[in-house]
Amino acid sequence: MFKVDKFNHVLTATFLVYTSILCAVYAYLLFHAVHEIENQAAQIYLQNAQVEVLKELNAIELQLQSNTVDLQHRAMLPKDLSSVSDEELINLLIEHFKQSRPQLHIYSSITANIPAYLTPLSIGFHEFQPEDAQILVSKLPRRNISLYLVYDETNASKLDESTPDIIVGLASVAILICLIGIMVSIILGRKIAAPLKRLTMEVSKAEPQLPLVGHNRADEIGTLSRSFTASIERAKQFLYREKQFSRHVSHELRTPLAIIGNCMSLLKLEHASEDAKATALSRIDRATSNMVQLIETFLLLGREQQNASLSTVNLRQAIFNELDKIDSSNPSDATPAKFLICHDGMVRSDAALLGILINNLLRNALASSNKLVRITLSDNQLLIDNDIVKDLSTSTPGFGYGTEIINRIAECLRCQLTINKNEHRYRVIVTFNDSIQLPVSN
């Protein structure tokens, strides 16, 4: 069986089938219309013949009443014109029209040789297929006599004889239309399939250029192109998030793993004091907690849609909590930095992610200054500001994320993050655009 596996082949086959059916229906209707026209012509012929028969009958009756029958009719009538019967009048009509209308046969209900198929017919037009005849039945005026006018179409019409030629002609026209339809369908199929082929080639590329071909079209091809474009963009974003996740995890987990490794080495020492072991265990516990927090954060950031769990968060308390974490991770001999916190405020945000964001912003601020960090809470903004200390030999240790991860966390929290850093100053502004500000008294 012929296998159709291409769009233009499907279109060609569909158009060919449609054209064939249309040609067959058209030929049938045309042939039927010709027959109907022939029947209508025969009925008109019978109506005209009926009018002539009645006129001729009236003329003969007038002649009989005036006793002035012409010679043509006189030979067929009896000597006594007053005793002319209806049967004789009918016979006179039959003989009169036999020559003028050879395809017309006239019968009456009183005719002796009336065909059997005429007897049951009612008044009106009839068609008798076996005899190929059109029949008009009527009543003679002032007489209870049925008049049958039979029109023989066998010799009058050449349609039956021409039927084979008509069929051949119609078949030839149908074949010609089908051939033209095939050519048109092939051209249209190639034209319609061309943008689909180009779109397929673009999609099959290793790095398709976006937006794809046909992106601006208003038809189904444009819809398909836009859908492919959106799918490829989502796939690229997913791959990007996967790469970022792997890179961030491998980078950010090195510090807690190194701390855990160092503390384990310390615990294995036989001469280590109990205080040193307790400190090592505490550092292992904090490093483990930070690792869990890191993994949960990266998993959340790696999702296509981040659904943050909103709750009411006290910014001042959140900042103090993160400062405690930073102090607990600093070496005991490190010089503590000074923090100046102004005002207070409460926002609706994700407490865990907000804590991670604040923690890393503070660590980045301390990395450039170990003296004074100013934190200001006003309206819907969190401002972290400090002077940069040049040639700072030591930096605050911990698990700070890079700027890229901080921006991703701010995006997940629907916050606007602005970082300004120059040679003398480090300034970060966090604007809670979608957060509800609830002012709290100092």
pLDDT in tens, 85-110: 777 777 777 777 777 777 788 888 88
Calculate what percentage of the chain has a pLDDT beyond 90: 0
Torsion of CA 42, 48, 50, 51, to 10 degrees: 170
Mean pLDDT of 414-426: 81
Q: Is the pLDDT of residue 252 over 80?
A: no
Residue 438 confidence (pLDDT) above 50: no
Average pLDDT value for the chain: 75
392 vs 341, which has greater pLDDT? 341
Residue among 102, 118, 99, 98 at smallest CA distance from 110: 118
Average pLDDT of span 164-190: 78
Q: For 237-247, what is the mean pLDDT?
A: 75
pLDDT surpassing 80 at residue 198: yes
**d(Cα 227, Cα 210) in Å, to the nearest integer?**
12
Q: What's the pLDDT score for residue 55?
A: 84
pLDDT band at 396 (very low <50, low <70, confident <90, very high): very low
pLDDT of residue 151 exceeding 50, the answer is: yes
pLDDT at 287: 83
* CA pair distance 365, 386, nearest whole angstrom: 7
Ranked by mean pLDDT, the top range of 2-11, 271-280, 303-312 is: 271-280
Compute the average pLDDT of residues 420-433: 81
- Please tell me the least confidently modeled range out of 124-138, 158-172, 280-294: 158-172
Say yes or no to pLDDT of 371 above 80: no
- pLDDT exceeds cutoff 80 at 276: yes
Give the residue, 79 or 195, on which the prediction is more confident.
Answer: 195
| Backbone torsion region of residue 84, taken as left when φ is above 0, otherwise alpha when ψ lies between -120 and 50, otherwise beta | beta
Looking at residue 67, its pLDDT comes to 63
123-149 per-position pLDDT tens digit: 998 888 777 788 899 888 777 888 888
